[in-house]
Amino acid sequence: MNLLIVDDEVSFRVHLRHVFERKGYQVAEAADGFEAIDKAKETLFDVVLLDIILPDIDGIEVLKQLHLSSPFTQIIMMTGNATVENAIASMKLGAYDYLVKPFDFEELSILVNRAFELARLKREREAAEHEKFLKSRFEEFIGQSEHTRQILQLVEKVAPTNSTVLITGETGTGKELVAKAIYRKSARSDKPFIVINCSAMQDTLLESELFGYIKGAFTGAVKNKSGLIEVVNSGTLFLDEIGDVSPEFQTKLLRFLESGEYRPLGSTHTYKSDVRIIAATNRDLKELMKQGKFREDLFYRLNVFNIHLLPLRERPEDIPVLVEHFLSKSCFALKKCVKKCSPQAMKILQDYSWPGNVRELENVLERAVILCDGNQIKEDDLPGDIKSLATAPLSDSNLKLEEVERQHILRVLQETNGNKTRAAQLLGISKKSLYFKLRKYHLEKE
């Protein structure tokens, strides 16, 4: 509880200070208006006891200045020469109360406590609103490139419809953020939004999660269980990594997309549900169709409206705004104040190819904020492999993006002593995607 006493009478200030220090307040003093304004810029005061008659400037003017620097501070005006005009002027300018000297110190103490409670409640309300704003901002798909603007335009167009959407793009490009943006702008935004990672579940588990099951459908099914299709009724279901599901499950999903009907595991009854499906994949579904691993009819059911996200290396204009965004997010989570990157650090971030895309950038910046000792990210706060790859001169042997990605994965694995779980986290990709890349680049033995 911080209290500022502004009065030119030394004995009066000292007496008030002793009264409130005994009650547990942190008390500061100011002998005139300018000193009060300066102290309010340095310290956040909960309550100010402000005399109207001061030797330099009028207390009413000080009241105006204090409200500009700290709108939540509660100001109690004091005067030995009460006038109706001063009282009205003070209250109009937002003073908490107006007291005439001499006054009862116990009554003043009660008044100060009430003013403090009001200041605390206003600050807590503002902090909650600010946190709510930040959290909503952290779920936005952001950028300033022409590609990002086009994506946001597509979201605006498709969101109000009930059409199925297929979002494609490399791992870490922000497919789930686009799905959430579609959901928030849709007529279903007041209904549930549930995410299912298809690659993380076996077929039977995925089917039971989506469609539910009845008692006795399998060992351990001791009672009926509703599936997410039923739970999300009238809402939106986001099926991530849809390219990883088996042909058997594809058949059941196709049936639901065509008719809205589903059958819980073990049941002979068919039910209906109104659910909007948004799907996403980092795989080439057309290539999987050629290989017979993905149903052509399901592809066309999912691909009613396609949104393709470019990798970060193909939209470098987005990097500065993403850096600002993730610095804000990391500082909020880590309770630090890092405002920007140095020009050298920003150049490294823009020169790097980002095989893990936006997710890798977020991880790198969170690490940098932890390491940063000042208010800006420096070159030394960035991982060594990123600095070396970003600054390495391009030769004929490393002009190909695949070779850059191969070398980067190898370096990250060396840095983590072969810990693939940690390497996948640093790269901003799933462990399954890492294993796929290890096979692709013949890195298993290395």
Top pLDDT among 396 and 102 is at 102
Residue 192, preceding bond cis, omega within 30 degrees?
A: no
Quote the pLDDT of residue 395: 47
Lowest-pLDDT range, 112-121, 270-279, 432-441?
Answer: 432-441
> Do residues 91 and 117 share a domain?
yes
Quote the pLDDT of residue 81: 73
In a domain, 298, yes or no: yes
Residue 378 has pLDDT above 80, yes or no: yes
> Do residues 343 and 238 share a domain?
no
429, 173 contact by CB (below 8 A): no
> Do residues 191 and 220 share a domain?
yes
For 354-388, give the secondary structure using H, E and C.
Answer: CCCHHHHHHHHHHHHHHHCCCCEECHHHCCHHHHH
Quote the pLDDT of residue 134: 53
> Do residues 170 and 118 share a domain?
no
Quote the pLDDT of residue 392: 55
> Do residues 305 and 345 share a domain?
no
CATH, residue 206: 3.40.50.300
Report how many domains make up the chain. 3
In a domain, 53, yes or no: yes
CA distance 418 to 317: 33
In a domain, 140, yes or no: no
Average the pLDDT over 423-429 and give the result. Answer: 79
CA distance 327 to 308: 26
Top pLDDT among 137 and 51 is at 51
CATH, residue 417: 1.10.8.60
137, 277 contact by CB (below 8 A): no
In a domain, 90, yes or no: yes
In a domain, 446, yes or no: no
Choose the final residue of a domain: 288, 310, 332: 310
Top pLDDT among 440 and 244 is at 244
CA distance 291 to 284: 11
Choose the final residue of a domain: 310, 325, 350: 310
Quote the pLDDT of residue 302: 96
> Do residues 260 and 375 share a domain?
no
Residue 393: pLDDT band (50, 70, 90) is: low
Residue 344: pLDDT band (50, 70, 90) is: very high
CA distance 412 to 434: 11
Choose the final residue of a domain: 269, 294, 310: 310
> Do residues 162 and 232 share a domain?
yes
Residue 394 has pLDDT above 80, yes or no: no
| Full residue range of the structural domain in which residue 112 is found | 2-127
> Do residues 336 and 222 share a domain?
no
What is the average pLDDT score of the chain?
86
Quote the pLDDT of residue 286: 93
Average the pLDDT over 118-142 and give the result. Answer: 71
In a domain, 166, yes or no: yes
- Of the chain, the percentage scoring pLDDT greater than 90 comes to 41
> Do residues 338 and 257 share a domain?
no
pLDDT in tens, 281-313: 999 999 999 999 999 999 999 999 999 999 998
> Do residues 342 and 429 share a domain?
yes
Residue 441: pLDDT band (50, 70, 90) is: confident
Q: Which two tokens stand for residue 95?
A: 């003073």
Q: CB-based contacts of 164: which residues, under 8 Å, 6+ apart?
A: 257, 276, 277, 278, 279, 301, 302, 304, 305
Quote the pLDDT of residue 399: 47
In a domain, 135, yes or no: no
> Do residues 245 and 388 share a domain?
no
CATH, residue 97: 3.40.50.2300
Average the pLDDT over 192-200 and give the result. Answer: 90
In a domain, 395, yes or no: yes
> Do residues 246 and 209 share a domain?
yes
Top pLDDT among 180 and 101 is at 180
Strand intervals (E) in 189-270:
193-197, 236-240, 261-262
Q: How far apart are the first and last CA of the chain?
A: 61
Quote the pLDDT of residue 333: 79
